[in-house]
A and B are shown apart, each in its own frame.
Chain A
């Protein structure tokens, strides 16, 4: 309940639109119910007048019938438009609210979730919440008000049938859906579990398809999938049967209401307490009123899911950030020398240290490479420099000022990172590049893309720099992504450049050309290069070899080569890395 209230609170800015939509929906519903009832009354009254040879004012009822027909048609259209308008406004508000809440949390405070699950979770949850008004709030309110109206009208003419119809409406609109929901809970849960089990099985099997076929296990794989499919179908059958029963029960309840009115009102017609022409009217009124409860099973069914989604999103949004803006940020010094003083770091309590007693001086304009195998702690250094996390002990300074005393925007304006797993937005190549420097000219952009060896590729695209990339655009290969990320980093004017595996997925010749490009374009910037390849190391002022978070060796390229040891791990490869973007 508290969840629902908090959710409704978030929707407050659109309450006017929501009220209008509910009013229109109610109008259309009542016009529909009354149309049949008034028509029934009209032909009965006309028939009775015809038999009696009496005269009758037929203009008013005929006009009312036409008016109801138009009210129902127009009302339904207007209701659809306003309810969707309201829904989309709720959506806009919800999205902004959620983004604002999430912004300080990523990546640090949400790192306990695997990104795939996190993002599909967020997408599904937000989609569900966006439908809360349309699917749940509006139909429930309308059904309640329409039911009250019908019962009230019935009560004016015949009290007992009003009570009976009220009872039947409650049974059909509340009790039946609740029973269906309770019985459907287990198969629905099983269905969700089965669907992810099926996907996991398929991913496992498809990624290991070669091994599977080599071991002759393909028939077994196929039969396992068929088995899961069978179980899925049997759960769906249970749900379909329940839904079938529930909808049949609503139809039955509506017809029973009609029968009840007949049985109760016919004696009243005979004893004269109810006018004869009202019999068909009341009977049709009772029947039509069940139209209002038809959407209720779906509404009640979606409620628990919606609340669960709300809980998950609120839980995410209510987390506390792991890195805080200093309350009184210090002014940055003029220099941008970066220094790690005895820094150790672990991602969470109880997890191993990934960086141990690390020291580094990246003086202005110096170039340092950190090399080491995967998992040696190289990428954690980047997370610390830009304050995605704070060190567990030790401190990092820039220009002599501890970085946790600088405003985050000031810190990040001076450091530019080329990420190993860069993200490209669903936008044009140009827009993705401009992210690094909104005021860049075409000249700036091309200088960066040429240095990163990606300009020719971009111009070969049909729409050049205006080609859409990202989730809804052209898919780039691994090597292209890396080169584009390097170009984006080079475009950014920050004095400290951090490159994380810039030559990943490139062949030796292209990699060497890229390093020449970086050297000339960033000749006056400090560079921190993180890599496990050998290309480019010879041009570095210092090389730090990292092993298990500790410095295993440091020195110039020449010194380390003479020593052999850790650097030798790179040797004796006789072919190029695959060029993956041909």
Chain B
């Protein structure tokens, strides 16, 4: 309930950005009100004149000529109101989508890691689309409901107070009953929501699991379950719907019965000569128009429910806290050379309260080659993520060439870094663009530079084998490339950046020995003359490092070169020992 209120107020808050088109909807609504009344008035005059004053076509020419103009005006105003509300809806959509996109970029990959890509994508696309009908259908219906019945009541009151009274009494009853019944249906629906979802999704569940069912000889048995589930779904959904339909029954009932009442009441007073036919017919013509907005509101009410349901996810994503580094006012100039890095008591706390790093301090000299080792969860990746700017320290300081990292412009700093993650991502663009990763979409691509990067990464042969060389498009996340090929292209990407700092997370996935050897050799070349930090998983990588940092539970427990650490015993010696015993 509280969630629904938050959703509704979020949706309402968006209205301020689209006040102009919404005002246009109101204006068009007022216009429609006026036109509806004039139309009823003209029709009542014509029929009354023909029936009671013996008028012929010629006598009502004036009214007959005005009618088409009124019709066109009504159609035009309806059209304007639709377009204006569409405008409002699409403006809200455009803003929200961009806001979500900015939020995603603000949060960055690490803070988004625990959110499934599919859910994020659905929030940015489907959820944003789902609020469209709220502005395009529901709000205009609300506007018309607020305007039309009152306008009609004002003109009906002097013509026939009794009918006005009927309108006045029945109008509030309709929404009242709708809300009462709607609440009942919703409660019923909520109660069985998960059961209903499960039953509704059962067929797909069964089809997805068919191989498993077959392996356990249960696939024929499941056919009966498919039938039973569909049957249960019918039974339970109909139980909910029978109640839900009562709310539209209430709406229909009040609208229809009061029209009938008005007609009968008018009829008798006409018979008794207590009112003119003109007034009576005028009121009768307006009676359906009085209830029409309420009916259309009832028809579009579900748009509101759907929007509120969808907006939850949007609010949740926008509410995620990203501790962002404050914007840099005057960024310090950065020298283009291998940097010296210093961590001073750096502590990282994750959103769930876990400590990623615990007051860690170390210095890495320019051009030094560091290997990080330790059990998973020790904080190796967090050290890399800090330098990449994907994670910010809760306390402590990182110095780059003695300048605090907060004082550096992030974009400039990142240009110094090449990063080799465990599973590099291949974008759906050409292999060349994947290597270049140029900012503006790759028009300043220099084929020579690309090929030389490829050569350094031992990816030249691979690219020559591709059907269109550098211009070959990669499929979704490089699905058409093997793990080794992806690694090679990512290495070429790293060489192409001409970085000063190399951050590397060694692949743990199994590559065939030849590929592994050649990738290791290429990585070696990448590190030469650069500062580098490698989260290492392999003995031979560690052995070649200038210094090894041994991490455990977010602390630096030991450091030194391979020989020293081995002699000293402790965690490093244990790790090496275990590797040897597995191998």
A230 CB–B CB distance under 8 Å:
yes
Q: Which chain A residues border B5 with CB–CB below 8 Å?
A: none
Residues of B within 8 A of A413 (CB): 217
Q: A76-B249, A267-B57 are in contact. Are A575 and B234 (CB under 8 A)?
A: no
Question: Which of A95-103, A178-186, A347-355 makes up part of the contact surface?
Answer: A95-103
Min C-beta distance of B89 to chain A, whole Å: 9
Of the candidates B54, B57, B233, B510, the one whose C-beta lies within 8 Å of that of A532 is: B510
| Segment touching A, from B167-175, B263-271, B307-315 | B263-271
The one of B60, B98, B120, B208 in contact with A119, judged by C-beta atoms closer than 8 angstroms, is B208
Cα A36 to Cα B216 with chains together (Å): 64
A503 → chain B closest CB, angstroms: 13
Contacts of A137 in B (CB 8 A): none
Stretch of B339-347, B356-364, B464-472, B538-546 at the chain-chain interface = B538-546
| B125 close to chain A: CB less than 8 A | yes
| A275–B464 alpha-carbon span in the complex (Å) | 91
In-complex Cβ contact of B476 among A200, A211, A217, A230 (8 A): A200
Chain B contacts for A279, CB-based, 8 A: 47, 50-51
Least Cβ distance of B392 to chain A in Å? 14
A222 and B259 form a contact (CB under 8 A)? no
Contact yes or no, B226 A69, CB < 8 A: no
B288 & A36 in contact (Cβ 8 Å cutoff): yes
Shortest CB–CB separation between residue B336 and chain A, in angstroms?
A: 16
Of B6-14, B319-327, B370-378, B397-405, the segment with at least 4 beta carbons within 8 Å of chain A is B370-378
Instruction: Judge whether B82 and A81 touch: CB under 8 Å.
Output: no
Q: Are A217 and B104 in contact (CB under 8 A)?
A: no
Within 8 A of B (CB), among A530-582: 532, 534, 568-579, 582
B79: which of A244, A426, A532 is its contact (CB, 8 Å)?
Answer: A244
Q: Are B582 and A573 in contact, CB atoms less than 8 angstroms apart? A: yes
Which of the segments B235-243, B451-459, B553-561 contacts the partner chain? B235-243
Query: Can you sample 14 A-B contacts with CB below 8 Å?
Result: A50-B270, A76-B248, A76-B249, A98-B203, A107-B210, A208-B427, A237-B86, A240-B86, A244-B83, A259-B64, A263-B57, A532-B510, A534-B583, A574-B542
Q: Are B263 and A58 in contact, CB atoms less than 8 angstroms apart?
A: no
**A213 adjacent to chain B (CB < 8 Å):** yes
Interface residue count for A (Cβ, 8 Å)? Answer: 144
Per-position 1/0 for A354-376, Cβ under 8 A of B: 00000000000000000001110
Residue B536, interface by CB 8 Å:
yes
B483 at interface, CB cutoff 8 A: yes
Q: Does B180 contact A (CB under 8 A)?
A: no
User: Per a CB cutoff under 8 Å, which of B208, B268, B414, B508 touches A58?
Assistant: B268
Would you call A216 and B439 a contact (CB within 8 A)? Answer: yes
Chain A residues near B76 (CB-CB < 8 A): 248
The reply on A39 being an interface residue by CB < 8 A is yes
B78/A81 in contact, CB under 8 A: no
Q: Are A210 and B109 in contact (CB under 8 A)?
A: yes
In the assembled complex, which residues on chain B have CB atoms less than 8 Å from the CB atom of A212?
Answer: 427
B256-280 contact mask (Cβ, 8 Å, vs A): 1 or 0: 1101100110111011110001001
Contact with B along A247-258 (1 / 0, CB 8 A): 111011001101
Over the window 196-222 of chain A, the binary record of Cβ atoms lying under 8 Å from chain B Cβ atoms (1 yes, 0 no) is 001110111011111111111110111
Determine which residue in A66, A221, A373, A574 has the highest number of CB atoms from chain B within 10 A of its CB, and name it.
A574
Contact between chains at B374 and A575 (CB < 8 Å) = yes
Which of B15-23, B184-192, B416-424, B525-533 is the interface stretch? B416-424
Give the interface of A toward B (CB within 8 A).
32, 35-36, 39-40, 42-44, 46-51, 56, 58, 61-62, 65-66, 68-70, 72-73, 76-77, 80-81, 84-85, 88-89, 91-92, 95-96, 98-100, 102-103, 106-107, 115, 119, 122-123, 126, 195, 198-200, 202-204, 206-218, 220-222, 225-226, 229-230, 233, 236-237, 240-241, 243-245, 247-249, 251-252, 255-256, 258-259, 262-263, 266-267, 269-270, 276-277, 279-280, 283, 373-375, 386, 388, 408-409, 412-413, 416-417, 419, 422-426, 435-436, 468, 470-472, 492, 508, 532, 534, 568-579, 582
B367 at the interface (CB under 8 A from A): no
Q: Which of B67-75, B142-150, B151-159 contacts A (4 or more CB under 8 A)?
A: B67-75
Residues of B contacting A43 in the complex (Cβ-Cβ under 8 angstroms): 263, 266-267, 270, 277, 280-281, 284
B355 interfacial by beta-carbon distance below 8 Å? no
Residues of B contacting A249 in the complex (Cβ-Cβ under 8 angstroms): 75
Q: Is the CB of A225 within 8 A of B97?
A: yes
Least CB distance from B153 to A in Å reads 20
Chain A residues closer than 8 Å to B118, beta-carbon distance: 203
Q: Tell whether, in the assembled complex, residue A570 and residue B482 are in contact, meaning their CB atoms are under 8 Å apart.
A: no
Residue of B nearest to A53 (CB): B273
A388 cross-chain contacts in B, Cβ below 8 A: 211, 214
| 5 nearest CB pairs, A to B | A571-B583, A208-B425, A92-B230, A39-B263, A88-B234
Known: A220-B440, A570-B582. 4 other contacts (CB 8 A): A76-B248, A96-B226, A213-B108, A408-B214
Once the chains bind, are B217 and A69 in contact (CB under 8 Å)?
no
Docked-complex contact A123 and B204, CB < 8 angstroms = yes
A89 to B231, CA, bound (A): 8
Chain B: interface size category: 35 or more
Q: How far is the CA of A48 from the CA of B390 in the complex (A)?
A: 85
Pair A73/B56 contact, Cβ less than 8 Å: no
Q: Does chain A have a CB within 8 A of B564?
A: no
Does A56 lie within 8 Å of B203, measured CB to CB?
Answer: no
A58: chain B residues within 8 A (beta carbon) = 267-268, 271
Q: Which chain B residues border A230 with CB–CB below 8 Å?
A: 94
Q: Are B538 and A269 in contact (CB under 8 A)?
A: no
Contact A374:B510 (CB < 8 A) given known A81-B245, A471-B201: yes
Q: Closest CB of chain B to A404's CB: distance in Å?
A: 16
Interface string of B374-415 (1 = CB under 8 A from A): 111100000000001110000000000000000000010011
Residues of B within 8 A of A (CB): 39, 43, 46-47, 50-52, 54, 56-57, 60, 64, 67-68, 71-72, 74-76, 78-79, 82-83, 86, 90, 93-94, 97-98, 101-102, 104-105, 108-110, 112, 117-118, 120-121, 124-125, 132, 136, 194, 197-198, 201-220, 222-223, 226-227, 230-231, 233-234, 237-238, 241-242, 245-246, 248-249, 252-253, 256-257, 259-260, 263-264, 266-268, 270-273, 277, 280-281, 284, 288, 373-377, 388-390, 411, 414-415, 417, 419, 421, 424-428, 437-441, 476-477, 482-483, 493, 508, 510-513, 536-540, 542, 575-576, 578-579, 582-583
What's the nearest-Cβ distance from chain B to residue A377, in Å? 14
Q: How far is the CA of A6 from the CA of B475 in the complex (A)?
A: 38
> Do residues B207 and A122 form an inter-chain contact, with CB atoms below 8 A?
yes
Chain A facing B: main interface SS: helix
C-alpha gap A382/B315 in the complex (Å): 46
- A226 — nearest CB in chain B belongs to which residue? B98
Residues of A within 8 A of B377 (CB): 578-579, 582
Given A47-B277, A122-B207, also A206-B267 (CB < 8 A): no
Residues of A within 8 Å of B271, CB to CB, are 46-47, 49-50, 56, 58
B244 nearest in chain A by CB position = A80
Complex Cα gap A545–B380 (Å): 34
Known: A84-B238, A237-B86, A575-B376. A207 touches B230 (CB 8 A): no
Distance between Cα atoms of A211 and B505 in the complex (Å): 13
**Other-chain residue from A62, A69, A96, A195 in contact with B267 (beta carbon distance below 8 A):** A62
Question: Which chain B residues border A572 with CB–CB below 8 Å?
Answer: 538-540, 579, 583
Whether the Cβ atoms of A435 and B268 lie closer than 8 Å is no
Residues in chain A near residue B217, CB distance under 8 A? 409, 412-413
In Å, the complex CA distance between A175 and B152 comes to 34
Find out whether the CB atom of A373 lies under 8 angstroms from the CB atom of B108: no
When chains A and B are docked, how far (Å) is the Cα of A249 from the Cα of B281?
26
Partner of A206, one of B121, B204, B438: B121
Select B234's contact among A85, A206, A375, beta carbons within 8 Å. A85
Report the Cα distance A115→B317, complex, angstroms: 29
Contacts of B427 in A (CB 8 A): 204, 208, 211-212
A259 pairs with B71, CB closer than 8 A: yes
Pick from B51, B54, B86, B252: contact of A73, CB under 8 Å? B252
Interface centre among A58, A252, A266 (most CB of B within 10 A): A266
